[in-house]
Structures are given as structure tokens and as C-alpha cells.
Amino acid sequence: MTDLTGGSAIPDPAERAALNAALQANGTETGFWDDQGRPAPWPDDIDQWRPETGGHTTHQPGEQPF
């Protein structure tokens, strides 16, 4: 799931289905959770997600971004 440039890549639907089946079989979490807080499979529409962009934030010297 990492492209050759070193960035993250979203798996295609067939790969997501295979990953979800493997994760469910061994009890591993995907990093996604449903509305009740239970581990959930990869969302079907993840390839349509877009990052939220906001205004530029300015930090004081020595201030952590998070």
C-alpha cells in the first residue's frame, strides 16, 4: 500500500476486500471504527475521501503542532 515514491496509496476495492477478510480472520484492527467504537473494515468510499484543508496555522517558536 505504498507507492514507489514513498507516499501512501489507497488500496483498490479488490485489495481492500482481501485486506478486510485477512484482518477479520486474525482479529487485527484496520484503524477505522464504526459509530459504536467497534473496529470496522476499510470504508468502500475511501478512494473518494479528500483531505480537509484549512487556513495556515502559525505556531510560536518551540510550540508543538498538536
Condensed to tens digits (0 to 9), the pLDDT of residues 51-63 reads 776 667 777 788 7
Q: 20, 16, 10: which is closest to 51 by C-alpha?
A: 10
- 3-state percent breakdown (helix, strand, coil) of the chain, nearest 5: 25, 10, 65
User: Per residue in 15-55, pLDDT tens?
Assistant: 888 887 877 777 677 778 888 888 788 788 888 887 776 66
Range 3-15 average pLDDT: 72
pTM above 0.85, yes or no: no
